Amino acid sequence: MPKSASAPSSPSAREPESYESALAELDRLVQSMESAQLPLDQLLDGYRRGAELLGFCRARLDAVEQQVRMLDDGQLKPWSDPS
């Protein structure tokens, strides 16, 4: 049971539900770190969590890019703005 009690204080144990939720959490984290109101230990924890979230977002983007390549016969086509 001690692990469940320490889980809320350890945000790195949570996997984001989606790319959007990870990006929103990363944005909130950056804003709180930029406010310079956090103690050093919390800044370090925030940095670690931010690195995890960034890795998650990059992995999701890479996975989507691979899916797009498969849909486009193995080539990633340049974006053309229809407007």
pLDDT at 8: 38
pLDDT at 79: 66
Report, as ranges of residue numbers, the positions in the chain whose pLDDT lies below 50. Answer: 1-12
pLDDT at 13: 56
pLDDT at 24: 95
Nearest CA among 54, 43, 46 for reference residue 16: 54
**Cβ partners under 8 Å of residue 46, min gap 6:** 29, 32, 33, 38
pLDDT at 14: 83
All structural domains of the chain: 19-73 (1.10.287.1040)
d(CA 38, CA 32): 8
